[in-house]
């Protein structure tokens, strides 16, 4: 049983590493707009209403970026909407 636990733990560690390689640490609002089919203004308003500035999203060089967690949450939300429709 201990061997199986270590094997599962190793697989989970590999999945986390692959996940971190595939999903960027930050993404622009433009990327989110393209990915979701929403306007940049709609994404920005959604961020303002539902997320914390400077933690979940911030301005950098004249562009607005979102954190990895925020990116995943918004993409999951949009995917769930598509699955229900």
Range of the domain at 45: 25-84
| Residue 9 domain flag | no
Q: How many domains does the chain have?
A: 1
Query: Does 65 map to a domain?
Result: yes
Percent of the chain with pLDDT over 70: 98
Reported as a single tens digit per residue, the pLDDT across 20-69 is: 888 899 999 999 999 999 999 999 999 999 999 999 999 999 999 999 99
CATH code: domain of residue 40: 1.10.1660
7 within a domain of the structure (yes/no): no
DSSP 28: E
Residue 13, domain member (yes or no):
no
Residue 6 in domain = no
Distances (CA, A) of 14 to 2, 3, 6, 73: 19, 17, 12, 22
Q: β-strands 57-60, 63-67: how paired?
A: antiparallel
20-33, pLDDT tens digit by residue? 888 899 999 999 99
H/E run at residue 80: helix 68-84
């Amino acid at each position: 049983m201990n061997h199986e636990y270590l094997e599962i733990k190793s697989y989970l560690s590999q999945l986390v590493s692959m996940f971190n390689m595939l999903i960027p640490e930050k993404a622009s609002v433009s990327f989110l707009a393209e990915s979701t089919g929403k306007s940049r203004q709609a994404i920005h308003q959604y961020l303002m209403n539902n997320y914390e500035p400077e933690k979940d999203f911030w301005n950098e060089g004249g562009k607005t970026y979102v954190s990895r967690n925020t990116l995943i949450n918004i993409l999951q939300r949009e995917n769930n909407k598509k699955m229900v429709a």
